[in-house]
Amino acid sequence: MSVKAMLAKLLESELAARGVNSLAPSDCEEIVERLIERLTDLELSLAANKINGES
């Protein structure tokens, strides 16, 4: 099982524990994919700022 699949399953479980049962497993997979993309973008932006001496 891939890390993305595990994260999607964890997300699905956490949402269900909070009463959110309307999302399909594929929705959770898409959310995880988007979160990973956004985190990657943020990491790259922070690294660029560090290189450029910005805080």
Task: Parse the chain into domains and list their residue ranges.
Answer: 3-51
Instruction: Please tell me the predicted confidence (pLDDT) of residue 55.
Output: 60
Max distance between CA atoms of the chain, in angstroms, equals 45
Instruction: Please tell me the predicted confidence (pLDDT) of residue 54.
Output: 73
Mean pLDDT, the chain, integer: 95
pTM listed for this prediction:
0.81
* 27-48: pLDDT as tens digits: 999 999 999 999 999 999 999 9
* Segment 1-17 mean pLDDT: 96
Distances from the Cα of 32 to the Cα of 9, 11, 47, 52, 53, angstroms: 10, 8, 22, 30, 31
Structure tokens given for 42 = 């943020």
